[in-house]
Each structure stands twice: as C-alpha cells, then as structure tokens.
Amino acid sequence: MSITTTTHASYATAADLLAVIQPSTGGRDILDPATGELVGRAPEHTAADLEAAVSAAREAQPGWSALGHEERSAYLNRAADAVEASAEALAELLSREQGKPLNGPNARFEVGACTAWLRATASFELEPEVLVDDGGRAELHYRPLGVVGAIGPWNWPMMIGVWQLAPALRMGNTVVMKPSSSTPLSVLALVHVLNAALPGRVLQAVSGDRTVGNLLVEHPGIAKIMFTGSTDAGKAIIRNSADTVKRLTMELGGNDAGIVLPDADPQTIAEDLFWGAFINTGQTCAALKRLYVHEDIYEDVVTALTETAKATPMGVGLDENNVLGPLQNKNQFDIVANLVQAAKDSGARIVLGGNPEQGQPGYFYPTTLVADIDNDNPLVAEEQFGPALPIVKYSSVDEAIEMANALNVGLGASVWSSDKDKAREVAARIQAGTVWINKHGAVDPRVPFGGAKQSGYGLEFGVEGLKHLGQPHVISY
C-alpha cells in the first residue's frame, strides 16, 4: 500500500473552516446555543457513506500498522502542529457551536488540550513485556485491533475526540469517528485539520443521527468502539455490539462526589472547588456534582463558594470577558431547571441563582448553589450536568463516605483537606475510578482514567490506555 499525506494548510477563522467542511447543498442547520444564530450546516451522512468510510479505513489499516510506532508517533506530532496552526479558528468554531467561552478552561483550553494529548500519546513507550524467562520465555505484545469506531459527546467534542483517536492511531488502528449530532462541525473541522498531516484514509468522520451511530456500533468491520456519553446510551451500545463481540471502552455518567474534611480552609479551596464543579458550565463527565461538607465549616464553605461564583462572569462565548457559557442544548437546560425546581419545592435553600431569565436568547442557566439539601434529593442523586451544585452537610466522615458511595456510578471523586495523609485515608475508601485530593477533574494524559460501577469500563490515557487499543498477543517459546 502506498501512503501519502495531503498538503498542510492552516485556517485563520471559523468561516474559513466552515467553507471546507459544509456540504455544497443541503445539510442540517447548527445553531449557536448562546444566541440562536446560525453557525453552519452539517452534512447528513448516510448508511452508504458510513460503509464507504469503514471500507476505506479497513483498506488503509495494514499500511498504517506497518509503519511502526516511531513513524506513527511522528505523524501524531505533525498532526499536533496542524492543530496549533489553526488553533484560533478551531476555538472560535467550538465556542460558537458548543457555547463555551474562548477564555478560561474552555474553547482555547480545549484546543490546546488536543495538541497536548497528541504529543503526549506520541511520546509513550510500549515495549513487549517479558512474562517468563527461566529456560522458557513468554512475551506479551500488543497488536492493532483493526478499525476503531469513536463516538464522541457534545460537551468536549474536540478534546474527547482526540482522547479517542490519538491512542487508536498510535497503536496502528485506523479510525472512523461519529460526532454528537449537537456538535458535528467542531469534530469535522478538527478531523479536516488533522488529515492535512495524516496519511489518507486512516482517520475519517461520519456525521449523522443516532441511526448512523447504531450502524457503526453494529458494523462487522469495526473491531472496537470507544464511547463517551450517558450510561443509558452506553448500555445500548453494549447491547448493539454484542453480536460482533466488539472490544469496548465506555466512559459513562459520573455524578462525582467531593468530600470536604473539617480541617480544610474554605477560602483556600474555594476557587478550586468552584472550577471542579463549574468547568464548562458544569457540562463535564468528571465534574464535581455533589459536595459533602462537614458541619463545622459548612457555612464558611457555602459563603466562600458564593463569593467565587458571583465574581465569575457568564455570557456569550465570543466575548473575551466571559468564562461561563450557556448549556449546549434545550434538553440539558430543561434537565437542570427541573432538578433545581424540585430542590426548591423540597425546601432546600437556594443560595445563589436558580432563576433563569425569561425571554432571553440562548440556553443560559445562572450559576446556582443549593444548600441544606437532603442526600436523596434528585438534584443530588441524579447527574445534573449543568451549573447547579448541591451542598450536603455531614457530621462524621463515615457518614460522608457512605453517602458518596451510595450511587451506582463512580467516575471520579475528590477529598479536600489540609492534611494529605487524612485525605488519602478517605480517598482509599471511595468507590471511584479516580479520587483527587484538593482538586477535581484534573486529568493528565500520562495517568490512566476510567470509571467504576456503572460509570463504565476500560481505561484511557497513558501506556495503559494504549494497551486498551491493542490486541494482547502472547508469544511463548
């Protein structure tokens, strides 16, 4: 097979990117969730388009695999260069389509994370493991699986897309991506930019509705599905992939708990607590979504969080002053609004927010803090996925741990304390894939990440993440 690369190009504005990814006719209108204005038109790919993409990816895979780790890593670094060259245009398009502001831990941050993950994934070493060497010898190798189907979410569409495609490509697989129907333009633009640096046909994207996604999951030519999204959607993928016995990496719902120990300093931790909960306006799988605070410092933590929230501007993402944006879609807005209303009706104390403006454009829900709330209240027990944080008071650490572990999910969690030894003792008792101390949601490309319980299975990031994109292959002699 002959492998060639396309000519490198960079883009200055979102309009430049839209000009090359929009269909010449037809397509589906994508609206800005902050203003309701037209962002662009997304192609509606068909079953035939998906079939063509999978066939092309299968044809390209042997040649891509034959390049070896070193050359594939070089391609990933070139792809990172391409993203950097078009970073501002990608961030502008992301802000307009997803709603997140340019500044803060948002659109520019997300595009920067794409380059960081590409480079980090290219740097990992994956050598054969010697299992036995005592006269006989057994080695564990990891071989490419084939074609990986990557199904991404609408909250971090570019960054999570790279989390999926980078290790898959590095391991010698080819990739067919299916972006969320809410944010297809961002992913199509990212794939177009990446393909300026990658060999032809190793990375492709198909845009469409759930029907196209189901066909990808069921396709016998797809060896593995990587999915980030809700637990319910993940369960459907598990069922639909069963007949072809696909490998799966499922990063599903979280509803992460945070426990503030009585020795924590409210003023010291307030800003990190706030961003742990409200990064991307709360629309993050591993965001802090229920906060347990010891009764001795409860009111002090509530006050410190309120001061931080009041000082954090929300608005249209292209305004350089804003660092919080709208909810991405009407359905998510309604979920948050209904959960906060249920908390109000139950007698919980609305410390801040809870009163969205009527008749305004965009799906803006104000930063909301809810205190004096029961642990079984729906705002606590269900993943709200928005800018509303319930704060639950506890009396003993055992009680807090019991409440944190009570749900059937466990993506991430955090412990906040001035004593790291005490924090580690508590962290060891929490049922979650990752427990952070004095921070929350701080993912690192070098550190494996995955969920416990119904938050999914499989690992991403680091060398362990690479292994999950390979077929274990033992050679014994």
Residues with active-site annotation:
251, 285
Please count the other Cβ atoms lying within 10 Å of the Cβ belonging to residue 318: 17
Distance CA 106, CA 113 (A): 10
Burial class (CB in 10 A: 0-12, 13-18, 19+), 36: exposed
Q: Using alpha carbons only, how large is the chain's radius of gyration in Å?
A: 23
Q: How far apart are the first and last CA of the chain?
A: 32
Neighbours of 166 (CB within 10 A): 28
* CB contact set of 452 (below 8 Å; sequence gap of 6+): 410, 411, 431, 432, 433
Cβ(175)–Cβ(57) below 8 Å: yes
Residues in the chain: 477
Structure tokens at 470: 């390979």
Contacts from 9-16 at CB under 8 Å and sequence distance 24+?
A: 9/196, 10/82, 10/85, 10/86, 11/86, 11/89, 11/90, 11/193, 12/88, 12/89, 13/88, 13/89, 13/92, 14/89, 14/92, 14/93, 14/96, 16/89
**Six-digit token pair at 352?**
């801040």
Q: Which residues, in sequence order, are CB contacts of 239 under 8 Å at separation 6+?
A: none
Token pair of 150 as six digits = 């990557």
Q: Within 10 Å of residue 464's Cβ, how many Cβ atoms?
A: 15
Instruction: Tokens for 121, please give them.
Output: 């994934």
**CA distance linking residue 378 with residue 336, whole number of Å:** 11
SS3 per residue for 241-269? CHHHCCEEEEECCCCEEEEECCCCCHHHH
